A = this chain, B = another copy of it.
Amino acid sequence: MISGHKKIDWAKRFMPLLNLIESEYSQQKPLKDFTVGMSIHLEAKTACLAITLRNLGAKVVITGSNPLSTQDDVAEALKEHEIMVFAKHTKDEDVYFRGIVSVLEQNPDLILDDGADLTITAHTKIPSALKNLKGITEETTTGVRRIKALKSQGKLKIPVIAVNEALMKHLFDNRYGTGQSTWDSVMRNTNLLVSGKTVVVAGYGWCGRGIAFRARGLGARVIVTEIDPIKAIEAIMDGFEVMRMKEAAEHGDFFICATGNTSVISVEEFLRMKNGAVLSNAGHFNVEVDVKALERLATQKFEARENVTGYILPNGKTIFLLAEGRLVNLAAADGHPVEIMDLSFAVQTLSLIYLSQTSLQPEVYPVPAEIDYRVAEMKLKTLGVKIDELSIEQRRYLESF
């Protein structure tokens, strides 16, 4: 059994940007005197982020961002890093909510949020938590949506940086992170061959592209479904077939949803599928595969393998669902690769430093472009890659346009 400390050590080795930021600021300690409240899926990679913030001088108070995603051994290990931890793996929503409250009771100066539970709770239930609060960073699209709703009701009191919009996050996280970790999960949970199979990818956004290209890279034939005609033509030009889900349903061996929408695969499609089809979801919520409809439709349900549920349909065929239709790379594997999270967390850390040094109105802000570029430059540095610089002549030429 590997301990929480070992898990953290492993991740930290492959997070060169967090390490570089720590070393660059080791004298300056820019977060000294700041209390940072964090709510995040508490596992090895996020633990590294907490430790970095601690090493930048912050007092860090942390809880989970989902009652089921906390890894207790990592939480324990984190306590030995002088971090206040209020997180426990639990199915008890109350326990989860008490963690949120406990963090807010520390009156944080900065909040790092993932899904906006800290932010919403502070604004709606614990106003005293706002009094020291100088700024918030929010990792997810979902959290940003909730915060914007707060704003539109005139209730947002604190400036918020929407981290997901940074180029160094969404360009990489979705294509390379989701692309790889989805297939890692599907392969390890099924032991099935991908070569020569037909993979149906629902959605050709950044995630869907990542999944489709990796599927081809593993030897599959790929069919894409879309609702946007421009993206549909991009998929065609990239060499994939495009059709409606109800037709694709007949062809797929594997189905992977990445649309951000609901009921993308439902009863009509289930009934058209081949015996043995394997369904999974790479989108944020477990609504893309219409699991409720599948549960109603099936005449029998059984555990086929760890993380794999079999459903026997009225037509006698059996289809399989991974991870109960939840995000397959997180719910049934280890989530994004370490280095991808390092990119996102470098953006997070620099955004928190920025917020600590800047006074802003209570709005939702994009990540400043200079942070994006600085993270990119740091990444190149840690890779030992040098790129060209514009000469004076070239700069002038560009300006002459």
A195/B391 in contact, CB under 8 A: no
Least distance between A381 CB and chain B CB atoms (Å): 9
B180–A145 touching, CB < 8 Å: no
Check B184 against A188 for contact (C-beta < 8 Å).
Answer: yes
A376–B232 touching, CB < 8 Å: yes
Beta-carbon contact of B385 and A236 below 8 Å: yes
Cβ B385 vs Cβ A243 within 8 A: yes
Residues on B with beta carbons closer than 8 Å to the beta carbon of A193: 176-177, 180, 337-340
Contact at B168–A180, with CB atoms within 8 Å? no
Q: A316-327 interface mask toward B, CB cutoff 8 Å, 1 = contact, 0 = none? A: 001000000000
Contact across chains for B237 and A175 when beta carbons are under 8 A apart: yes
**Which residue of B is nearest A380, CB measured?**
B229
Q: Which B residues touch A233, using CB under 8 A?
A: 168, 172, 196, 376, 379-380
Contact B240 A221 (CB under 8 A): yes
A55 to B58, CA, bound (A): 67
| B192, A337: Cβ atoms closer than 8 Å | yes
Q: Pick the contact of A262 from B187, B241, B263, B397 — CB < 8 Å?
A: B397
> Do B388 and A225 touch (CB < 8 A)?
yes
Q: Is A366 an interface position by the 8 A CB rule?
A: no
Give per-residue flags for A266-300: 1 if the beta carbon is below 8 A from chain B beta carbons, else 0. Answer: 00000000001000000000010000000000000
Stretch in A8-16, A102-110, A350-358 touching the partner: A8-16
A354-401 interface (Cβ within 8 A of B): 372-373, 376-377, 379-380, 383, 385-391, 393-394, 397-398, 401
How many copies altogether?
Answer: 4
Q: Which of A22-30, A150-158, A210-218 contacts B (4 or more CB under 8 A)?
A: A210-218
User: Which residue of the partner chain B has the closest CB to A222?
Assistant: B239
Of the listed stretches A72-80, A93-101, A129-137, A301-309, name the one at the interface; the rest are far from the partner chain. A301-309
Q: B226 to A387, Cβ gap below 8 A?
A: yes
Contacts of A306 in B (CB 8 A): 2
Q: Say whether A387 contacts B176, CB under 8 Å.
A: no
Nearest B-chain residue to A369, judged by Cβ: B230
The count of chain A contact residues (Cβ–Cβ below 8 Å) is 94
A195 to chain B: which residues have CB within 8 Å? 176, 179-180, 237-239
Known contacts: A14-B276, A219-B239, A339-B193. The answer to whether A263 contacts B391 by CB under 8 A is yes
Given A171-B234, A195-B180, A394-B338 contact (CB < 8 Å): no
Which residues of B lie under 8 Å from residue A303 when comparing CB positions? 2, 6
Q: Is the CB of A229 within 8 A of B376?
A: yes
A343 to chain B: closest CB distance in Å? 8
Structural contact, B13 and A276, CB atoms closer than 8 A: yes
Q: Does A165 touch B at the CB level, under 8 Å?
A: no
Contact residues in B for A188 (Cβ distance below 8 Å): 184, 187-188, 333-334
Contact of A220 with B by CB under 8 A: yes
Interface residues of A (CB under 8 A from B): 2, 6-7, 9-11, 13-14, 142, 145, 167-168, 171-172, 175-177, 179-180, 184, 187-188, 191-196, 214, 216-221, 225-230, 232-234, 236-245, 247, 260-264, 276, 287, 303-306, 308, 318, 333-335, 337-340, 372-373, 376-377, 379-380, 383, 385-391, 393-394, 397-398, 401
Known: A196-B233, A217-B218, A243-B387. 15 other contacts (CB 8 A): A2-B305, A13-B276, A167-B230, A172-B237, A184-B187, A196-B239, A214-B217, A217-B217, A225-B387, A232-B380, A236-B383, A242-B387, A244-B388, A245-B388, A263-B397
**21 A-B Cβ contacts within 8 A?**
A2-B305, A13-B276, A167-B230, A180-B194, A184-B184, A184-B188, A191-B334, A192-B338, A193-B337, A195-B238, A214-B217, A214-B219, A216-B239, A218-B218, A227-B389, A229-B379, A233-B379, A243-B387, A244-B386, A245-B388, A264-B394
